[in-house]
Amino acid sequence: MNKKIFGILAAALLLSFCLCLAPDGTWADFGGFSGNSDYGGSSSSGGGGGWSGGWSGGSSSHGSYSGGDLFGAAAAGSLLSSDGDDWMLAVIVIVVLGIVFLNQNKKKSLQSSAPVYTAPAPVNRNLKPISGYLALDPQFDEAKLRAHLANLYVQMQDAWHDKDISSLRPYMTDAFFNQMDRQLDALRKARRTDCTENIAVLDTNLLGYWQSGGMDYLAVRLKSRIVSYVLDDRTGKVVSGDQNREKFMEYEWELVRKTGVLTSDGQKQTATCPHCGAPLKINASAPCAYCGSVVSVLNEDWDVSGMKGISQRTV
């Protein structure tokens, strides 16, 4: 078969597959971690394990995450319909793409002069006890930070429902904010609304910290109880989730801050826009509300740099 025709066929099949799944695609809660199918299980709140896979968060300048799924593990699974035709089409697409992949690898293997690329070494995430962080920052207040993160979780859910997360920008790294906003843009285009109600943060637990590349990192385990469902904006009907069932969610967050910064009063740094002189509340970067210019400073407070879903249990 002509290679060009073969490529067009593969692309057409993939497009058909995506279009077939699009009407049933779901998002749920901030970042799309809750879905129709439960996942994970009971996990320990201590220790330094469980870092691989499933991260939603842009790569920081000091490392990258494995995984990084767009809709979250559960939501991605819910994209696959149980309808037989969808599964048959999925099999066809996988086979075709597999053949394309093998042909490309065969061609590359014949090019002996081709450069070999290797993945960068992973960031060292050997967690140290959070109690030891007081030696680095005597004003560090674990209880206050936990309360802040619990409140931030509620704010995140509300902003996700409103399909506008601009108010969250001071609390996220640029990479993570941009990834979440791109994901939210897909939700806007699909004309769907994620509704998260009866939010209760059950626990926030700081698992530990580590340092790398001039930055301090915290690992946080957050548990919540929510009611999560998705509405079609055009019909007002529930297309995913259940308004009458609760989900017990467990997440792992990664926070980052510049090494050497000490805890202050918890207020975001106030900067002045160099273009128009307006005051800005800023952490890493933020657009000026008056002239639209983006102003950047170094990380002076804890930012969320990544999230992953650990488990979901629906009752």
- CATH number of the domain enclosing 169: 3.10.450.240
pLDDT at 31: 87
pLDDT at 136: 95
The domain tally of the chain equals: 1
pLDDT at 277: 60
300 vs 256: CA distance, rounded Å: 10
Whether residue 288 is contained in a domain is answered as: no
Structure tokens belonging to residue 174: 């640029």
Whether residue 45 is contained in a domain is answered as: yes
3 vs 283: CA distance, rounded Å: 50
pLDDT at 216: 96
pLDDT at 228: 95
pLDDT < 70 stretches in the chain: 1-27, 42-124, 265-300
Give the torsion through C-alpha atoms of 236, 241, 246, 251, to 10 deg: -120
pLDDT at 129: 96
Whether residue 283 is contained in a domain is answered as: no
Give the start-end residues of each E strand in the chain: 55-56, 192-212, 215-232, 238-241, 247-258, 269-272, 279-282, 285-287, 294-296, 303-314
Whether residue 144 is contained in a domain is answered as: yes
Whether residue 160 is contained in a domain is answered as: yes
pLDDT at 67: 30
Whether residue 279 is contained in a domain is answered as: no
pTM: 0.64
pLDDT at 221: 97
Q: Is residue 119 classed as helix, strand or coil in its secondary structure?
A: coil
Whether residue 172 is contained in a domain is answered as: yes
pLDDT at 47: 36
| Structural domain span for residue 231 | 3-111+120-261+299-314
213 vs 178: CA distance, rounded Å: 22
pLDDT at 75: 35
pLDDT at 119: 36
* CB distance 116 to 57 below 8 Å: no
